[in-house]
Amino acid sequence: MAWYQCFIRGERFPGFILRQKRPVGFYTTRFVQALDAEAAEAKALAQLKRDKALAVPRFRRNRVARVHFEEIRELPRRPWRMKTGFVFYDEDL
For residue 31, pLDDT over 70 is answered with yes
Q: Are 67 and 48 in contact (CB under 8 A)?
A: yes
Predicted confidence at residue 93, as pLDDT, reads 61
In SS3 terms, 15-74 reads as HHHHCCCCCEEEEEEEEEEECCHHHHHHHHHHHHHHCHHHCCCHHHCCCCCEEEEEEEEE
Predicted confidence at residue 82, as pLDDT, reads 82
List pLDDT tens digits, range 73-88: 999 999 988 888 999 9
**What distances in angstroms separate CA 7 from CA 19, 53, 62, 72, one per listed residue?**
25, 17, 23, 6
Put simply, whether the predicted model's pTM sits higher than 0.85 gets the answer: yes
Amino acid at residue number 29: T
Could you state, in order of their start, the residue ranges of all structural domains in the chain?
2-90
Confidence of residue 44 (pLDDT cuts 50, 70, 90): very high
